[in-house]
Chains A and B, each alone.
Chain A
């Protein structure tokens, strides 16, 4: 056996010591991290234990004398742990208990602290502060919250958007415009999530209509998509012409689908024809199916006729979607029953409606088809 290791790899023993030391350190970190978290939880639990009954009483609206609220407001030992517990509880209650919890936060100076924390260097602190201020539902804080929609941290922007939504219509139209702007991606960072923005704009009600109308012309597909969904959901009639344009010509397929579905909600009889045109074979399958669903929402003879025409289409997904959409209205149900009984109807059309009719029967009667 050779006596000496290759000289070129002689440093391995030092590497081994380094690796072993790091392994031990990591194992210790795992164990210590678990101990630290368990201790922290226990400490918070013990600090809040004397106040738990008061918290529950205020949260449940059972503090008629106001003594529990007063004790919570005056307590200084539980510090920020109590503030956080009140904020957590505030997310779960409405009405008088929520008002009482807000007054507890105000008396504990938590609002002033939160406003100061909006300028903190820590994104976690800024997010918590924004959340606290949002839960107060105080229109006087609108500007503070709207400003946070431009925060450098994505998480803070999300909280700010939700908080603006919590203010409701009192936040005003400019807040809606800021929310839509925040949907845009910033370099590699994603914007405010579409569903959060949609929820917020819906909460702002008619105040968001001008911003939504403008959003439909935005250069960012994500913004147009959010605006289209909100326009449909909130029944913003002024958006209908632009929605029709987007449904027919937007370069982004998802935006076309959202705009078409929105037209199904907000559209009028005059919109049936442009939607029916989207059933044409040259259109993308997803847009055609969205058009079928939209026509099902709109209803009316013209819409029903257009949907019946595609029951025999080569795109069988479209045919089945049309049959399902038809089943949503009495007029449509009559039409598909007529197709199923018509010996001259294309076999493919009859095939598309057969299963839908059976499902209708099952729902109506609760009895089996076979």
Chain B
């Protein structure tokens, strides 16, 4: 068959498909962006009350309070020699009355342990680590500072992955509350005080809280502390700043307000230890282990009919280095979407199941329809538009108009999130940064959005084909490698 035979038929198909999907796509598109606007409204309510509450509850008094629960920070680490000492020092010096740090070296092949040993004068002890959670790896040794007083424990184990390292940390932890922090992240000095407030306020019901993750690229870092948030110099991290603002800060605050938060970032989450042990800890086979464990917590507690709360706290900030190259970003987004798909599939029985309350009736269906399927629809939509243009079945000015409306609405949502940020936390003080953020909100829709949709589809497809997931290495520039870093 020649192209002249195929093209008329193809044109007919594209015209029929476009006619069939134009309204559903438009409705879908309006629904998804309107849901973001609703989240922004809910987040605004949440942030205003949070800020007032924090102001009135007396942060200074909390630091000296004997009633705040003991906390253990669990820090999995793998080949982190470059910044681990500064990171641990920063965690040890967080403002909190009773906290300790358990670092789990997941079989690093670099000098991670050696630099820690020298910096903290570590000595080996015969400390028994309970097996509350099953752990695949073999524990090689346990170390504490020679002075016996610095609240730090370093465990060396054979390499078995992040989740297994966290599970071992949970076993070794002495605190009632566990905070999971990535070794390359930087916490605000008061982050522990604030992220644990919901547990102190409602100790009988609160089971997990999550803090907000923001991009640290470009910010001024001094001695392991982020002293001045700044916008990154590179385009990709810049766009991720506004993306994190909309998706992580606003989206999760909205879900939290609705009482249906199902995702707490693994880079900065707090859990009650006994609950984690009850549900069996992190799933070492899951690629979206942070999402999976919270879904399991919801499933377990709902089935037991327990009254419990999971809350997102918008203020304590965990700063992390976001990918600055397309290659690393691609791997990250593919992994995230694969984790999303695998977890949603695993818990598909919760969908529209009233037994699971708002989580089953609201959050799970939303994640299916608007988080999982969104990149597919976006990609198919783009494909149809391109085909329509090539086959001359779409009016060009109309196509441009349609795209402008679609992406204009997306920009509107991001700007609404920025407005809320400006009126509440206002982390970026420089005018230059504000201007950069405004531009990034526009730039996000030109190429970045389409690329990430494609990468997310790749992750989903890889899972459907049963490809083995490899975590890979997150290549980092380092938090001392950009302007203003010291």
Chain A contacts to B: CB under 8 angstroms: 1-6, 8-9, 12-13, 15-16, 19-20, 22-23, 26-27, 29-31, 33-34, 37, 123-124, 127, 131, 154-155, 158-159, 162, 190, 193-196, 198-199, 221-222, 225, 229, 233, 252-255, 258, 284-286, 315-317, 319-320, 324, 351-352, 354-356, 358-364, 366-370
Contact = CB atoms under 8 A, between A and B. Distances in A.
Given A9-B402, A13-B401, A317 B127 contact: no
Given A12-B401, A355-B127, 10 more contacts: A1-B392, A5-B398, A8-B22, A26-B412, A30-B419, A34-B426, A158-B53, A194-B201, A195-B57, A195-B68
B146 A285 contact: no
B36 to A, nearest CB: 13
Contacts of B409: 19
A225 B405 contact: no
A310 to B, nearest CB: 13
A354 B412 contact: no
Interface string B363-404: 000000000000000000000000000001111111001101
B423 A23 contact: no
A154 B49 contact: yes
B279 interface: no
A-B complex: 4 closest residue pairs judged by Cβ atoms = A355-B127, A362-B148, A193-B201, A5-B398
A206 to B, nearest CB: 18
Given A19-B409, A23-B412, A196-B58, A225 B203 contact: yes
Contacts of A23: 408, 411-412, 415
Interface string B32-68: 0000000000000000010011001110011001111
Contact of B49 (A22, A155, A364): A155
Interface in B85-131: 123-128, 130-131
Nearest to A6: B22
Interface residues of B, number: 67
Contacts of A22: 412
Contact of B56 (A19, A155, A361): A155
A360 to B, nearest CB: 8
A312 to B, nearest CB: 12
A317 to B, nearest CB: 4
A19 B412 contact: yes
A136 to B, nearest CB: 17
B149 A363 contact: yes
A29 B127 CA distance: 58
A229 B211 CA distance: 27
B418 interface: yes
Contacts of A367: 146
Interface in B1-35: 19, 22-23, 26
B172 to A, nearest CB: 9
Given A193-B200, A194-B200, A229-B67, A158 B57 contact: yes
A355 B57 contact: no
Interface in B438-474: 438
B274 A286 contact: yes
B132 interface: yes
A351 B128 contact: yes
B343 to A, nearest CB: 27
B81 interface: no
Contacts of A355: 125-128, 142
B201 to A, nearest CB: 3
19 contacts: A5-B401, A8-B23, A12-B401, A19-B409, A23-B411, A23-B415, A29-B422, A33-B423, A158-B57, A162-B56, A190-B201, A190-B202, A254-B203, A258-B203, A315-B130, A355-B125, A362-B148, A369-B126, A370-B123
B224 to A, nearest CB: 25
Contact of B418 (A13, A30, A195, A361): A30
Contacts of B148: 359-364, 366
A361 B187 CA distance: 33
B128 A352 contact: yes
B312 to A, nearest CB: 15
A5 B171 CA distance: 63
B195 interface: no
A26 B419 contact: yes
B408 A20 contact: yes
Contacts of A6: 19, 22, 398
B37 to A, nearest CB: 10
B125 A369 contact: yes
Given A12-B405, A369-B125, A158 B56 contact: yes
Contacts of B131: 316
Contacts of B144: 359, 362
Nearest to A253: B274
A252 B204 contact: yes
A258 B277 CA distance: 19
B434 interface: yes
A193 B57 contact: yes
A352 B128 CA distance: 6
B65 A199 contact: yes
Contact of B127 (A3, A123, A354, A361): A354
B293 to A, nearest CB: 19
Contacts of A254: 203-204
A291 B149 CA distance: 25
B139 interface: no
A1 B15 CA distance: 13
Contacts of B197: 193
A7 B131 CA distance: 67
Contact of B125 (A15, A29, A123, A358): A358
A30 B392 contact: no
Interface in B340-366: none
Contacts of B201: 190, 193-196
Contacts of A233: 66-67
A187 to B, nearest CB: 13
B130 A222 contact: no
B67 A358 contact: no
Contacts of A12: 398, 401-402, 405
Nearest to B407: A19
Contact of A16 (B58, B125, B404): B404
A2 B131 CA distance: 70
A199 B61 contact: yes
B127 A358 contact: yes
Contacts of B149: 363
Contact of A366 (B68, B146, B171): B146
Nearest to A35: B431
Interface in B220-278: 274, 277
A317 B394 CA distance: 68
A359 B419 CA distance: 52
A26 B415 contact: yes
Nearest to B309: A190
B65 A195 contact: yes
B135 interface: no
B51 to A, nearest CB: 10
A319 B132 CA distance: 12
A131, A195, A363, most chain B CB atoms within 10 A: A195
Contacts of A29: 419, 422
A33 B23 contact: no
B416 interface: yes
A13, A26, A252, most chain B CB atoms within 10 A: A26
A198 B57 CA distance: 12
